[in-house]
Amino acid sequence: MKIVVYGATGHTGQFVVAELQRRGLDPVVAGRDAGKLTAMYGNLTSVPAAADDPRALDRALDGAAAVINTAGPFALTAGPLVEAALRAGLPYVDVAAEIEANRDTLTTYADRARRQGTIVLPAMAFYGGLGDLLVTHAMGDWTSADTAEIAYGLSSWQPTPGTRAAGQVSHDRRGGRRVRFTKGALEYHDDPLTQGTWDFPEPLGSQQVVHGFTMADVVTIPSHLAIPEVRTSMAIQAAQDLADPTTPAPTSSDQTFVVDVVVTSNGEQRRTTASGCDIYAVTAPLAVEAVQRILDGRTRTVGATTAGNLFHPADFLQALEPFLIVTTSAQLTPTRR
């Protein structure tokens, strides 16, 4: 059960390698820097491979059961790694938070992955994958909804170099414009961000947030759910941390978070909330649990798809304890102001 971790020397990659080892799986570490791989993982099998070297990628995936791509910007790495996975007939999982990269992966590889009967799973991470699972869980027996709102209550945000690089690539691809999902489609715009208040469940309570701070959920959720309006909000402190170029890279796991999801249909609302620590660390059990379920056959479809469509959301979220505490409530008070 060898699992290739591409980008293993990065911040999130290290968490993924550690989680694979914790579960008794066999990580093969890969990336472009052979010296760094050996220095960091001298006791593991390492395979140097640049993302633009198909033969090296084929060597890295030889004999593996699956590949997890943790190397951003995913606009540059997702395509080559998916191609290599499809050549090898392996499931592909990544942790991309880039809106356009995730959209491209889902649209470009939908037919090929389905024909091959394999799985291509982007955004299996804190942004994109977790929100998709929470919204799908909150939907329950609903087949459609009017809106889905995801509010991120982060105590702080120390972005990794990879997060910053990916954000810059996305910014450049959009020409500096913002993006939202409205009326059933992605829309690029120049409207200013707005601030407001989100009433998170206790003990977090009422918090100031930035509305329209759009994350990968606007790709993952509507890829399989009939919800024409998907909106995301971010705690002001976290948004300011990300915008500040002097905010240091993460060095500890003292960050806490609450992800609060509300779906609305014909005036009725349903809510699901997840809380935990360290958005980068929690990405590892999300991605590794996904790989384990794919290899065990605990999936609901094949092809290029997202977490909420591929897995049974309630069961998946329950398996993430104690990394996440998930609560569900059908009775709501107003949350957004």
Taking the domains of the chain in order of start, what are their residue ranges? 2-125+284-310, 129-278+322-329
pLDDT recorded at residue 1: 85
pLDDT band for position 66 (50/70/90)? very high
Residue 213, phi-psi category: left (phi > 0), alpha (psi -120 to 50), beta (remainder) = beta
CA separation for the pair 261, 83 (Å, rounded): 34
pLDDT band, residue 201 (cuts 50/70/90): confident
Q: Which CATH topology does 129-278+322-329 take?
A: Dihydrodipicolinate Reductase; domain 2 (3.30.360)
User: Strand, helix or coil at 250?
Assistant: coil
pLDDT tens-digit readout, 84-143: 999 999 999 999 999 999 999 999 999 999 999 999 999 999 999 999 999 999 999 999
Q: Which fold has domain 2-125+284-310?
A: Rossmann fold (3.40.50)
Residue found by looking up tokens 């990300």 in the block: 242
